[in-house]
């Protein structure tokens, strides 16, 4: 079978590259010998990272050529259908769905996180085009409820885990610390704390709150703090600001790394402070205790799955209380680790099952 996949690929975003890596792995397990074409901002980077064919995401003629003999058009995963980062996201991704349907191709939404949809036009497009899809899978019940509330009724719909829950880190514990040592970050023989932060204009002072909590972990636990920019263009300045605000020594990961290598960093960490959605997915999947900063409803959805509450959120903005949340989570490390390790296999199975649903959708449409 041939699958054409649309998503936020080729933007040097670790989370979205992890999604694509997981989707490729799971689709090939479900359909051996499948051909996969990814739509990407940087096709050369995508080909190198994932060993698949790629076409520029804005090359409408190239996309149409790939769709001609495709068995299934896949939209996702990730948070594609939302209008917070840009009002253009929803029209772009649903425009590709419309193109695929115009070419009589089945369409599969792959474990997407839906919303926020603040604009009436966005909700109209999602309702109109979403009802053209053959199968929709979403990664949390909040996304399902949003689709149902705006009038999605025709496609078969399922809730499943994010694809990255089915991704494995590099084999062997200790690999993550080896990667850090190779980048001249001393990570042997001491507690390792991985930190993911991103821009967040809604909560002034969050950078200082994170930096203060990290200083505390260095002073009281002898921890090594490593800031990992999950979206290079956006996160590097914020990570750098945290490093500069801190009184104690901290490091920023600035080496190239595959999604599995970054997942290995998290696997070897003793604790995490996470803001990016997939930094928290990595933490749950590898059993790493964490405190979350919930800047978006999708993070709330993930925390509800993990059974945790955020240290800071859109509704709880008291930066002065953040250190208390960090201390509490640090003291609950073993409890959190056991809980996550018990949950992770179920989430991994759910994530891998989505690929079988995709193959089934393609097979249904190919039958005479």
CA–CA separation, 274 and 291 (whole Å): 6
CA–CA separation, 360 and 218 (whole Å): 51
The predicted structure's pLDDT at residue 111: 98
CA–CA separation, 213 and 210 (whole Å): 5
Strands 251-252 and 271-274: unpaired
Name the region of 194 (left: φ>0; alpha: ψ -120 to 50; beta: rest).
beta
> Which residues neighbour 59 within 8 Å (Cβ) at sequence distance 6 or greater?
none
The predicted structure's pLDDT at residue 188: 86
Instruction: Show the domains of the chain with their CATH numbers.
Output: 2-159 (3.40.50.2000), 175-345 (3.40.50.2000)
SS3 assignment, position 285: helix
pTM: 0.96
The predicted structure's pLDDT at residue 249: 97
The predicted structure's pLDDT at residue 366: 61
The predicted structure's pLDDT at residue 170: 86
What is the Cα gyration radius of the chain? 20
Averaged pLDDT in 10-residue chunks for the chain of 368 residues: 98 97 98 96 97 98 98 97 96 98 98 97 98 98 97 97 95 89 91 98 95 98 98 96 98 92 97 98 98 96 96 93 97 98 98 98 76
């Amino acid at each position: 079978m041939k699958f054409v996949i649309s998503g936020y690929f080729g933007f040097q975003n670790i989370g979205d590259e992890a999604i694509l890596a997981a989707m490729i792995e799971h689709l090939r397990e479900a359909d051996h010998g499948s051909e996969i074409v990814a739509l990407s901002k940087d096709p050369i980077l995508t080909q190198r990272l994932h060993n698949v064919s790629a076409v520029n995401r804005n090359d409408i003629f190239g996309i149409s050529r790939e769709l001609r003999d495709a068995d299934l058009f896949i939209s996702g995963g990730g948070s594609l259908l939302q209008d917070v980062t840009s009002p253009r996201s929803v029209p772009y991704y649903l425009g590709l769905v419309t193109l695929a349907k115009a070419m009589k191709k089945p369409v599969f939404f792959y474990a997407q996180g839906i919303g926020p949809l603040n604009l009436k036009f966005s909700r109209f497009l999602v309702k109109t085009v979403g009802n053209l899809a053959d199968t929709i899978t979403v990664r949390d019940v909040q996304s399902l409820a949003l689709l149902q509330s705006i009038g999605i009724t025709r496609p078969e719909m399922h809730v499943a885990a994010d694809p990255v829950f089915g991704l494995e880190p590099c084999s062997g514990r200790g690999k993550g610390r080896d990667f850090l040592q190779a980048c001249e970050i001393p990570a042997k023989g001491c507690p390792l704390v991985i930190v993911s932060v991103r821009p967040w204009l809604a909560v002034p002072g969050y950078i200082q709150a994170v930096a203060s909590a990290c200083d505390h972990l260095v002073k009281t636990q002898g921890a090594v703090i490593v800031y990992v920019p999950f979206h290079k263009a956006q996160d590097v300045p914020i990570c750098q600001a945290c490093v500069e605000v801190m009184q104690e020594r901290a490091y920023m990961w600035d080496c190239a790394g595959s999604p599995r290598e970054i997942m290995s960093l998290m696997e070897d960490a003793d604790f995490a402070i996470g803001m990016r959605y997939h930094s928290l997915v990595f933490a749950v999947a590898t059993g790493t205790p964490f405190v979350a900063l919930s800047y978006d409803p999708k993070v709330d959805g993930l925390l509800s799955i993990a059974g945790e509450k955020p240290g800071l959120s859109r509704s709880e903005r008291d930066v002065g209380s953040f250190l208390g949340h960090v201390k509490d989570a640090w003291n609950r490390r073993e409890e959190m680790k056991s809980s996550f390790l018990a949950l992770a296999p179920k989430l991994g199975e759910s994530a891998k099952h989505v690929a079988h649903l995709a193959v089934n959708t393609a097979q249904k449409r190919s039958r005479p």
